[in-house]
Amino acid sequence: MRIVTIPDTVPGTGPILMLNMLKFVDRRLYIEEYLPALNRVMGLLGMEAKVNLLSDVLASVVADEGEDWDAILIMEYLSAEAFLTVAQSDAYREIAEPLRLSALHGPLSTRLLIQPIRSPLAS
C-alpha cells in the first residue's frame, strides 16, 4: 500500500507520532531486519526518526472481532512532511518496504498519525 497524501487537517510541521498496530507473519524479520532497514533509509535521506515505544500486546481488552494485535510501535518523526518524504521515497520502497510487507499481515496492520493532547490528567 502506498501513501499518496496526508489530509490537510494534519499539520505539516512539528513533531508527529505514528502508531503502528502490528500483526506479525514474521516477528524477527520486522524487528531485526525491517527496523534497521528503515533506519538506513532515514540516514540515506538525511532524516531522523525515533522509536518512542515498541511493546508486545498482552491482550485485546476492548476490540472488535479479529482485532488481535501482536505488538505496537510508536515512531516519532520531525513532521508529517518528513514522514511523507520517507514513505514516498524510492529508497524506502526498495530497501525497507519489502521487508515490512513480508513481516506483517497486510490488512491486519494499521498505521495512524497521532499527536499528543495536552491534558490535566497527563503527567
Q: Is residue 36 part of a domain?
A: yes
Q: pLDDT 10s digit of each residue in the chain, 123 long?
A: 555 567 777 766 778 888 888 999 999 999 999 999 999 999 999 999 999 999 999 987 877 777 788 999 999 998 888 888 998 899 999 999 999 999 998 755 677 777 766 666 655
96 and 37 Cβ atoms separated by less than 8 Å: yes
The neighbour count for residue 1, using CB atoms within 10 Å, is: 9
In a domain, 120, yes or no: no
At 86 the three-state DSSP class reads helix
Q: Which domain holds residue 31?
A: 16-59+68-112
| Residue 45 forms part of a structural domain | yes
Element (H, E) at 84: helix 80-87
Looking up residue 35, the CATH number of its domain turns out to be 3.30.70.100
Domain count, the chain: 1
Rounded to whole angstroms, the Cα distance separating 21 from 24 reads 10
